[in-house]
Structure 1
Amino acid sequence: MVKKLMQLDPWLEPYGDKLKARHWHILENSRRILGGKSATEFALGYLYYGRHRTDGGWIMREWAPHANKIVLVGDFCDWQDDARYEFTRDGGDWLLELPDKLLQHGDNYKLHVYWDGGDGYRIPAYARYVVQDDETKLFAAQIWQPKQEFKWTDRGFRSPADPPLIYEAHVGMSSEREEVASYAYFTREVLPRIKRVGYNTVQLMAVAEHPYYGSFGYHVANYFAPSSRFGTPDELKALVNTAHAMGLRVIMDIVHSHSVKNEAEGLSRFDGSYSQYFHEGERGHHRQWDSRTFDYGKPEVAHFLLSNVRYWLDEYHFDGYRFDGVTSMLYYSHGLEKSYSSYDDYFDGDVDLDALTYLTLANAVVHGVKKHAITIAEDMSALPGLAAPIDVDGIGFDYRLSMGVPDLWIKTLKEKKDEDWDLTHLLHELTAHRPEERTISYAESHDQALVGDKTLIFRLADADMYDHMLASDTDLVVERAVALHKLIRLLTASTHSGGYLTFMGNEYGHPEWIDFPRPGNGWSYQYARRQWSLADDANLKYSQLGSFDQALTTLLRDVDGEVDYRYIHQGDGVLSYMRGNYLFAYNFSPAQSYTDYGVPAPNGKYTAVLSSDSKEFGGQGRVDSHVAYMATSGQLMLYLPARTALVLRRDK
Structure 2
Amino acid sequence: MKNLINKEALYLYNRGRYYHSYNILGAHRMKHNGKLGVRFTVWAPYAKMVSVVSEFNNWNECVMENLGDSGVWGCFIEGLDEEVKYKYKILTQENQYKYKADPYSFFSELRPQTASIVYNLDHYKWHDAKWLEHRKNINIFERPINIYEMHFGSWKRKKDGEIYTYRELADLVIGYVKEMGYTHIELLPIMEHPFDGSWGYQITGFYSTTSRYGTPKDFMYFVDQCHQSGIGVILDWVPGHFCMDEHGLCEFDGENIYGCIGHKHWGTMNFDFSKTEVHSYLISNAVFWFDKFHVDGLRIDGVSSMLYLDYGYEDKNLAPRNKFGGNSNLDAITFMKKLNEIIFKYYPFALMIAEESSSWPLVTKPQYMDGLGYNFKWDMGWMNDTLRYMQLDPFFRKYNHNLITFSMSYAFAENFILSLSHDEVVHGKKSLVDKMPGDYWSKFANYRVLIAYMIFHPGKKLLFMGSEIAQFIEWREYSELDWMLLEYDMHKKFQLYVKDINHYYLNENALWEIDYDWSGFQWIDADNRDQSIFIFKRVGKKGEDFNVIILNFTPVYYKNFRLGVPAKGIYRTVFNSDEEKYGGSDTTITKTMKAKEVAWHNQPYSVELTVPPLSSLVIKLSKRKLAIPK
The TM-score normalised by the length of structure 1 is 0.82
* Counterpart secondary structure, 2:88: strand
Q: Which residue of 2 aligns with 1:291?
A: 268
Picking from 453, 456, 465, the partner of 1:491 is: 453
Equivalent residues of 2:597, 2:606 under 8 A apart: yes
1:410, 1:357 → 2: CA distance?
34
Per-residue deviation, residues 56-102 of structure 1 (Å, max 9, x unmatched): 23211111001011111111121233xx444444324344333442x
Given the alignment of the two structures, is residue 593 of structure 1 paired with residue 542 of structure 2, yes or no? no
For the aligned residue pairs, the C-alpha RMSD in angstroms reads 2.6
- 2:486 is the counterpart of 1:509: no
Kindly state the Cα deviation for residue 387 of structure 1 after the two structures are TM-superposed: 1.0
Give the number of equivalent residue pairs.
Answer: 569
Distance 2:87 2:474 in 1: 38
C-alpha deviation, 1:370, in angstroms = 1.3
Distance 1:168 1:74, change over 3 A: same
2:590 touches 2:610 (CA, 8 Å); kept in 1? no
Please name the residue that 2:242 is paired with. Answer: 259
Task: Quote the offset at 1:589 in angstroms.
Answer: 2.2
Letter paired with 1:566: I
| Residues 347-378 of structure 1: CA deviation (Å, up to 9, x unaligned) | 98211111111111111122112111111100
Q: 1:370 to 1:338 in 2, by over 3 A?
A: farther
Structure 1 distance, partners of 2:364, 2:266, is 25
Distance 1:34 1:488 in 2: 52
Report if aligned partners of 1:174, 1:186 keep a CA contact under 8 Å in 2.
no
What amino acid is the match of 1:546?
Q
Structure 2 residue 186 is the aligned partner of structure 1 residue 211: no
- 1:98 lines up with 2:76 in the alignment: yes
C-alpha spacing 1:225/1:625, structure 2 compared with 1 (3 Å): farther
Alpha-carbon shift at residue 624 of structure 1 (Å): 4.1
Question: Of residues 305, 312, 321 in structure 1, which corresponds to 2:289?
Answer: 312
What does residue 379 of structure 1 align with? 356
Please point out which of 428, 431, 443 is paired with 1:455: 431
Q: Answer whether contact 2:42 2:74 (CA < 8 A) is retained.
A: no
Tell me: CA distance 1:338–1:417, structure 2 relative to 1, closer, same or farther (3 Å): farther
* AA of the residue aligned to 1:603: A
Per-residue CA shift, 1:502-544, capped at 9, x if unaligned?
001112212221234xxxxxxxx3xx31133434x4x521111
Displacement after TM superposition at 1:404 (Å)? 2.5
CA contact (8 A) 1:110 1:122 kept: yes
Q: Distance in 2 between matches of 1:434 and 1:478?
A: 33
8 Å CA contact 2:297, 2:350 repeated in 1 = yes
- Aligned residue among 31, 45, 59 for 2:21: 45
Q: Is the 8 Å Cα contact of residues 417 and 461 (structure 2) preserved in structure 1? A: yes
Match of 1:392 among 346, 350, 369: 369
**Aligned residue runs from structure 1 range 39-78, under 5 A:** 42-56=18-32, 57-78=37-58
1:6-405 matches, within 5 Å, as 42-56=18-32, 57-81=37-61, 84-101=62-79, 103-117=80-94, 118-132=96-110, 137-145=112-120, 149-157=123-131, 158-159=134-135, 161=140, 162-177=143-158, 178-264=161-247, 266-273=248-255, 275-279=256-260, 284-334=261-311, 349-405=326-382
More displaced stretch, 387-396 vs 356-365: 387-396
Stretch moving more, 400-409 or 302-311 = 400-409
Say if 1:451 and 1:514, in contact at 8 Å, map to a contact too: no
Distance 2:10 2:579 in 1: 58
Would you say the 8 A contact 1:505–1:530 is kept in 2?
yes
Verify the 8 A CA contact 1:451 1:515 in the aligned structure 2.
Answer: no
User: Taking structure 1 as reference, are residues 506 and 338 closer, same or farther at Cα in structure 2, changes over 3 Å only?
Assistant: farther
The verdict on how the C-alpha distance between 1:643 and 1:614 changes in structure 2, with shifts beyond 3 A counting, is same
Residue 592 of structure 2 is aligned to residue 627 of structure 1: yes
Preserved CA contact (<8 Å) 1:58 1:100: yes
The amino acid of 1:572's aligned partner reads Q
Specify whether residues 114 and 455 from structure 1 end up closer, same or farther in structure 2 by C-alpha distance, changes over 3 A only.
Answer: same
For 2:425 and 2:397, locate their aligned partners in 1 and report how far apart those are by CA, in whole Å.
23
Over residues 261-302 of structure 1, what are the superposed CA-to-partner deviations in whole Å (9 max), with x where a residue is unaligned? 1122x10011111x20113xxxx2112210001111211110
The CA deviation at 1:439 is 0.5
How far residue 182 of structure 1 moved from its aligned partner, in angstroms, is 2.2
Aligned-pair CA distance for 1:390: 2.5
Query: For the residues of structure 2 that align with 1:140 and 1:35, how far apart are their CA atoms?
Result: 29
Q: Which amino acid aligns with 1:246?
A: S
- How far apart are 1:576 and its partner, in Å? 0.9
Cα 1:254–1:139 change in 2 (3 A) is same
Q: In structure 1, what is the equivalent of residue 617 of structure 2?
A: 646
| One-letter amino acid matched to 1:577 | F
Which residue of structure 1 lines up, in the alignment, with residue 319 of structure 2? Answer: none
Residue number in structure 2 paired with 1:529:
480
Alignment map for 1:549-560 (pairs within 5 Å) = 549-557=498-506, 558=508, 559-560=511-512
Aligned-residue offset at 1:620: 2.2
- Give, in whole Å, the separation in 1 of the partners of 2:464 and 2:439: 24
CA distance in 1, matches of 2:531, 2:412: 32
- Name the CA distance, whole Å, in 2 between partners of 1:348 and 1:635: 58
Query: Could you tell me how far apart the structure 2 residues matched to 1:507 and 1:637 are?
Result: 32
Counterpart for residue 5 of structure 2: none
Within the candidate set 519, 533, 548, 1:574 is matched to 533
**For 1:540, which of 485, 489, 493 is the aligned residue?**
489
4+ aligned runs moved over 6 Å, structure 1? 33-37
**Structure 1 residues 566 and 244: CA distance shift in structure 2, 3 A:** same
Q: What letter matches 1:240 in structure 2?
A: V
Deviations 1:600-646 (A, max 9, x none): 22123322111011111111222447434535432221200221111
CA distance in 2, matches of 1:404, 1:645: 22
Deviations 1:10-52 (A, max 9, x none): xxxxxxxxxxxxxxxxxxxxxxx99989x99721111111111
Partner of 2:578: 613
Alpha-carbon distance in structure 2 between the residues aligned to 1:228 and 1:108: 13
CA contact (8 A) 1:176 1:531 kept: no
2:428 partner letter: G
Q: Is the 8 A contact 1:611 1:644 kept in 2?
A: yes
SS in 1 for 2:595: strand
- Do 2:259 and 2:271's aligned partners in 1 also have CA atoms closer than 8 Å? yes
Unmatched runs of 5 consecutive residues or more in structure 1: 1-32, 340-346, 462-475, 517-524
Identity rate of aligned residues, in percent? 25
* Deviation of 1:227 (Å): 0.7
Deviations 1:304-343 (A, max 9, x none): 011101001100011111000000000101266799xxxx
